[in-house]
Amino acid sequence: MSFSAAKWRGHFPLLAAHHDLHYLDNAATGQLCAAALDAITSHELTHRANVLRGTYRLAEQADAAYENARRQVAAYLNAADADEVVFTSGTTAAINLVAHAFGDALKPGDEVALSLAEHHSNFVPWQMLRARRGVALRFLPLMPDGRLDLARLDEIVTPRCRLVAVTHASNVTGAATDLAPIVAAARAVGARVLADGAQAVQHGPVNVEALGVDFYAFSGHKAFGPNGVGVLWGKGAALAALPPFLGGGGMIGRVTPGETTWAPPPRRFEAGTPPIAQAVGLGAALDWLRAQPWAELHAHTARLAQRLVGALAALPGLTFIGPRDMRQRLPIVSFNLDGLHPHDVCQVLDRHGVAVRGGHHCAQPLMEFFGVQGAVRASFAPYNEEGDVDALLAGLQDAMRTLA
């Protein structure tokens, strides 16, 4: 399959309908691909019923569609078993599930290791766990460009460590985390590892078996799928050892006045009616993505990001955030213009049809590390083209003229 950004863009109905939109906010949410939209529409029109409830034909078709989506997600992640895939409402819910189901068994003196580069979704739940259980939080330091400094792993991941929870890729700097030494350090002390994959999954299939982590979390809307659905993948043994986080229908073995027993994973963690149509849409999106020529897509988005990085370096008063070498990062480019508030810059860019995000990006500890309140962020997907970079640069010139 040969890659064309214009043809790829044609698989996204919103972008096909808005030819003047330069959408560069892909780290916040990707556009919905036609494969996902078609699957959702087809399901809702032909198979809409609750799962695990009915023995009639329509309900059985809904069951089949939902479980097929689980298999599609498992294939994208190279999971050993589809039952290692738990559907949630998103990355935040997936991480909170682990923070409760795994974390509530911890005791004072136990430690959880994080980094200062985490999204709030992989930061705040562990602070809440600290307040509930009295665990200690240890923080991996950062190098000046925002990458995790792994030289002090042995100091941070101690024999008291029970879990290491780190980003697979930063939503601010784009810096990709080398998980192998983190996994090795965790294994040496018997700790589990959770990777926040929210920024990684949209850049090609993930091999959780090769990564060696115990838990992996991501959101559907960042992977060109629907809102309202996400995934917690967990190794079979790791999931089986966890109690449920939420109680209700669908997650039980048997309920009596005296006690309740739990269904095996993944049902144990899917209380209530799950996001059925959204899961079907996510499965279709990942199935479509799995067939894409990812070497070409990676080269294309890296060229766009590298061109932007080079052009930004020539602008006066610009502060760049993150590593500049595209071999160490995803196509996410964050920066500031001296004296200009990121929100003001984004509003000027919007007048040029450029959609980027400004603010702290739910990563205030990382912003504090860089000594800034926020940043402008442009994030690329394969449907972006040179014209998107041109429009962004023209808009920045306008912002520098009008806001100075």
Residue 255 phi, psi dihedral angles, 5° rounding: -115, 130
- Catalytic residue selected from 33, 161, 346, 362: 362
- Across-strand partners of 261? 254
Average pLDDT value for residue range 290-316: 96
Average pLDDT value for residue range 72-95: 98
Average pLDDT value for residue range 159-173: 98
For the chain, domains (ranges, CATH) are 5-31+293-403 (3.90.1150.10), 37-290 (3.40.640.10)
The two tokens of residue 88 are 């949630």
Average pLDDT value for residue range 139-165: 96
Q: What is the dihedral sign for C-alpha 76, 82, 88, 89?
A: positive
Question: pLDDT tens for residues 260-292?
Answer: 999 999 999 999 999 999 999 999 999 999 999
Q: Where are the beta strands (DSSP E) in 244-331?
A: 252-255, 260-262, 318-321
Q: Report the C-alpha gap between 263 and 255 in whole angstroms.
A: 11
pLDDT band at 328 (very low <50, low <70, confident <90, very high): confident
Question: pLDDT tens for residues 297-306?
Answer: 999 999 999 9
Question: pLDDT tens for residues 187-236?
Answer: 999 999 999 999 999 999 999 999 999 999 999 999 999 999 999 999 99
- The label of the residue with tokens 């997907």 reads 381
Question: pLDDT tens for residues 338-388?
Answer: 999 999 999 999 999 999 999 999 999 999 999 999 999 999 999 999 999
Question: pLDDT tens for residues 18-54?
Answer: 999 999 999 999 999 999 999 999 999 999 999 998 9
Residue 222 phi, psi dihedral angles, 5° rounding: -85, -15
Exposed e or buried b for every residue in 180-217, given b needs 16+ CB within 10 A? eebbebbeebebbbbbbbbbbbbbbebebeebbbbbbb
Q: Is 362 a catalytic residue?
A: yes
- In the chain, % helix, strand, coil (3-state, to 5) comes to 45, 20, 35
Q: What is the dihedral sign for C-alpha 153, 155, 156, 159?
A: positive
The answer, yes or no, to whether residue 2 has pLDDT greater than 80, is: no
In this prediction, residue 327 carries a pLDDT of 79
Q: Which of 403, 334, 389, 369 is nearest to 139 (CA)?
A: 369
Question: pLDDT tens for residues 118-139?
Answer: 999 999 999 999 999 999 999 9
Residue 13: count of CB within 10 angstroms of its CB: 14
Q: Which amino acid is at 172?
A: V
Distances (CA, A) of 349 to 19, 127, 332: 16, 36, 17
Confirm if 230 and 94 have CB atoms less than 8 A apart. Answer: yes
Distances (CA, A) of 320 to 167, 316, 323, 333, 334: 21, 11, 9, 8, 6
Distances (CA, A) of 115 to 121, 123, 165, 329, 373: 12, 9, 8, 17, 19
Q: Which of 137, 124, 75, 56 is nearest to 96 (CA)?
A: 124
Distances (CA, A) of 196 to 199, 220, 231, 269, 390: 8, 13, 11, 18, 32
Q: Decide: residue 128, CB within 10 A, 0-12 exposed, 13-18 middle, 19+ buried.
A: middle
Cis peptide before 316 (omega within 30 of 0): no
pLDDT band at 148 (very low <50, low <70, confident <90, very high): very high
pLDDT band at 1 (very low <50, low <70, confident <90, very high): low
